Amino acid sequence: VQLQASGGGLVQAGGSLRPSCTASGRTIGTDAMGWFRQVPGKERDFVAAINYSGGTTNYADSVKGRFTISRDNAKNTVYLEMTSLKPEDTAVYYCGLDRRPNLHQRSYLTGVYGHWGQGTLLTVSS
């Protein structure tokens, strides 16, 4: 499976953006998915995760109430609706695929995701 993240860009603080992650090669309708972000010189940090059906989600405290993860399995795509953006949200955003269907205690860890997209850059200006 290949994951293609897109939809990043330059946005002013307080603005919104909705990057997407589209899979090809096979359907992802039975897989949990996650969004992570990384700034140069730092580790890749958990942002949000969603189970196979979209019925369960989980968020990092830093984005709760501002970001919403969703999925459209018919389009083989996962989205990350980002609102009230802050300069500290600036990072490369990556989507990952966990072959387990449901979220679990380790869903915030990069190691459980076996497939990654190439990342999409979000820059939030102050």
Q: What pLDDT, in 10s, does the model give residues 10-41?
A: 999 999 999 999 999 999 999 999 999 999 99
Assign 82 a pLDDT band (cuts: 50, 70, 90): very high
Question: What are the backbone angles phi and psi of residue 37, rounded to the nearest 5°?
Answer: -140, 155
Let me know: does 76 contact 66? Beta carbons within 8 Å.
no
Alpha-carbon distance 49 to 10, whole Å? 24
Rounded percentage of the chain residues whose pLDDT exceeds 70: 100
Alpha-carbon distance 1 to 14, whole Å? 35
- pLDDT confidence of residue 81: 98
Structure tokens at 20: 């997407």
- pLDDT confidence of residue 23: 97
Alpha-carbon distance 68 to 106, whole Å? 20
Q: Look up residue 95 and give its amino acid.
A: C
Residue 117 CB partners (closer than 8 Å, separation 6+): 2, 3, 4, 5, 21, 94, 95, 96
For 97-118, how does the pLDDT look when each residue is reduced to its tens digit (9 = 90+)? 999 999 999 999 999 999 999 9
- pLDDT confidence of residue 56: 98
